[in-house]
Amino acid sequence: MTEYQAPIKDALFTLRQVGMLDELTKTDRFAHVDEETAASVLEEHGRFMQEVFGPTNSLGDRTPLQWSPEGVHVPDELTRAYQKFVEAGWQGLNAEEAYGGAGFPEAVFVLGAEFMISANGSLSMCPGLTTGAIDCLEEWGSEEQKETYLRKLVTGEWTGTMNLTEPQAGSDVGLATTKAVPQDDGTYRIHGTKIYISFGEHDMAENIVHLVLARTPDAPPGTKGISLFIVPKFLVNDDGTLGERNDVTCVSIEHKMGIHASPTCVLSYGDSGGAIGYLVGEEGQGMRAMFTMMNSARIAVGVQGIGLSEVAYQKAWQYAQDRRQGREVGGASKEPAPIIVHPDVRRMLLSMRSQIEAMRALAVYNAAALDLSRAIDGDDGDRWLEMAELLTPVTKAWCTDVGCELTSTAVQIFGGMGFIEESGVAQHFRDARIAPIYEGTNGIQAMDLVGRKLPMRMGGVVNDHLAEMRRTDARLAAAGEEFATIRTNLTAAVDSLTEATEWIMTNGLADPREALAGATPYLTMFGQTTGGWLLARMALGAHEQLAAGSTDRDYLSAKIVSARFYAEHYLPRVAGLLGSVRAGSADLYAVDVAGLASA
């Protein structure tokens, strides 16, 4: 079976064309990250992931985690791989330099995250959650908390979690009942149960820093009464050494469809008097602080769709060359041909390749917008922050929806062997299926897009995005006949997305149910159109390099073909979703609950 190879060349091409690296390196914040440095880091990161994380992927899928009342044992091979990750210093790639991080842009970081996810999607969740905890504490932690916890998280010596969900409180976090009782010494005693806590217990690191949402006495109902607390697995002494174990236990782990090497834990707090917790920020600010972590996590989850699609594509591409079935249509040979010569297999491979490139471009562009918002002061920085906020639900939802589709396509290319676990490709399909569910289901992302993001600046943010996509038209026209279908189909898609946006903003204002009924197809329209626009930009970049005399003609020409294939096969689907957006909510409630029964 093909071993994973990090697509470093594609990553660097995407970073140069849509990652706005030139603009970033001109800022004080990212002046130390020139193109050569970014390239060397990604090359080394990719090599590390394919050599260290990659070989553990199938083993982690097959080897059960071992739960006991004392904790969760992760297979030794994964622990050794994680320790090498810590020793190499990869955890702090995008963390603040003041606390031991490398201070690299998110646009570089998401590409490294893609390599890690492709190499081992389950194991990648541990560093991914730690990154979210780092982001949260960088913004909301006190100086004492940063010195105590942040430095160890940045090195990866300690890992982090986010504790939101409870048995009765899933996406509706305001229903959480975990209690935090203040103590005379300024700490809190935490009591409650949290479920679905990824890497909530394991033996790969010496300490786990749980970020826990809980409710203080007399707190108001709903999300306004939620506060955030640091609850370490082991208490930390004044000198930084580890003390006694805190009152938090893993009472069970889930048996899941995929991501088998990631322990998904039920954690019980306070069975022996109360777990000691430390307030982050102020009481009642818990959701604001947690959203810092969740927004980072949502982009990272979108990257899961990309990473798992990429490794599945690599296996499908190789299998299509090795597997011989049927004669080549129009060919002279009477011998069975590699299936890669058959039109439908080529269609599936190009469908995977072009959409992976579109997803990667969206994630990098989203991350670069976040970088610029942090690196530029004033109105320009604010506008980039608005763009990052607009794109985040799309990156999370569209990329994970497409990730499920593409890992399924890889199984299809394998045919019957794809349904056999030994082929290895089925694991990626199983692992990908959780991504549209967690960190806010994709339906919630769609609701966020139409309910919170479209109204930003009275619609000004989304209109800026639509206008920016239209500005590419002049460059496409100048590029000639080779770009004609890209130009025509991108224009039509932007027109359809504009029409859908106007319908939602008009009708949703009168009745929010109208907007929410069409939110999911609208998000798909948004993702498909934005992905096509970014592919067009990259194709134009390839065209300019060819015109300048680049000798890398095959690679650059393939980028143009990929963008054109996407424009011809996926951008026309945008208009087809317009009817779903405008259908409204009437039929959703035209029958009662009993009428929805199948028998």
Q: Which tens digits make up the pLDDT trace of 125-154?
A: 999 999 999 999 999 999 999 999 999 999
What phi and psi, each to the nearest 5 degrees, are found at residue 204?
-85, -20
Mean pLDDT, residues 546-562:
97
* Token pair 């990272």 in the structure block, residue: 300
**Please, which residues have CB within 8 angstroms of residue 22's CB and are 6 or more apart in sequence?**
none
What does R_g of the chain's alpha carbons equal in angstroms? 24
Q: Which two tokens stand for residue 527?
A: 């993702």
Q: What confidence score (pLDDT) does residue 396 get?
A: 98
The amino acid at 401: D
pLDDT > 60? residue 33: yes
Q: How far is 91 from 151, CA to CA, in rounded Å? A: 11
Q: Does the pTM of the predicted model rise above 0.95?
A: yes
- What tokens were used for 93? 């790639």
User: Closest by alpha carbon to 259, among 443, 128, 101?
Assistant: 128
Average pLDDT over residues 91-110: 96
Asked, for residue 40, whether it belongs to a domain, the answer is no
pLDDT of 2 higher than 70? no
Residue linked to tokens 């990648």: 124
CA angle centred on 437, ends 576 and 315, rounded to 5°: 80
Is 502 among the catalytic positions?
no
Q: How far apart are CA 253 and CA 265, in angstroms?
A: 4
Average pLDDT over residues 197-219: 96
What is the per-residue pLDDT for 63?
96
Average pLDDT over residues 169-179: 86
Question: Stretch 482-503: mean pLDDT, rounded?
Answer: 98
Band (pLDDT 50/70/90 cuts) for residue 52 is very high
Total structural domains within the chain? 1
Domain that holds residue 530: 445-590
Residue 198 sits at φ, ψ, to 5 deg, of -65, 130
Alpha carbons 335 and 346: distance in angstroms, whole number = 19
Q: What is 243-264 written as a DSSP string?
A: EEEPSEEEEEE---SS-TTS-E
pLDDT number for residue 332: 84
User: Residues 174-183: what's their mean pLDDT?
Assistant: 93
Mean pLDDT of 424-433: 97
The answer to whether residue 565 is domain-embedded is: yes
Share of the chain above pLDDT 90, in %: 92
The answer on pLDDT for 1 being more than 60 is: no
The verdict on residue 496 lying in a domain is: yes
Burial of 366 (0-12, 13-18, 19+ CB in 10 A): buried
Residue 170: per-residue pLDDT: 80
Looking at residue 509, its pLDDT comes to 80
Residue 521 lies in a domain: yes
Task: Provide the 10 A C-beta neighbour count for residue 587.
Answer: 9
Nearest CA among 375, 288, 289 for reference residue 29: 375
CA nearest to 532, candidates 501, 565, 556: 565
- The catalytic residue among 77, 439, 468, 502 is 439
Mean pLDDT calculated for residue range 186-208: 97
Query: Is the pLDDT confidence value at 172 over 90?
Result: no
How far apart (Å, rounded) are the C-alpha atoms in residues 406 and 360? 14
* Within a domain: 321: no
Q: Is the model's pLDDT at 4 over the cut of 70? A: yes
> H or E segment at 316?
helix 286-322
- Answer yes or no: is 487 within a domain: yes
Residue 459 is assigned to a structural domain of this protein: yes
Given a cut of 80, whether residue 292 has pLDDT beyond it is no
Question: Is 474 part of any domain?
Answer: yes
Round the average pLDDT of the chain to a whole number and report it.
95
In the predicted model, what is the mean pLDDT of residues 275-284?
Answer: 96
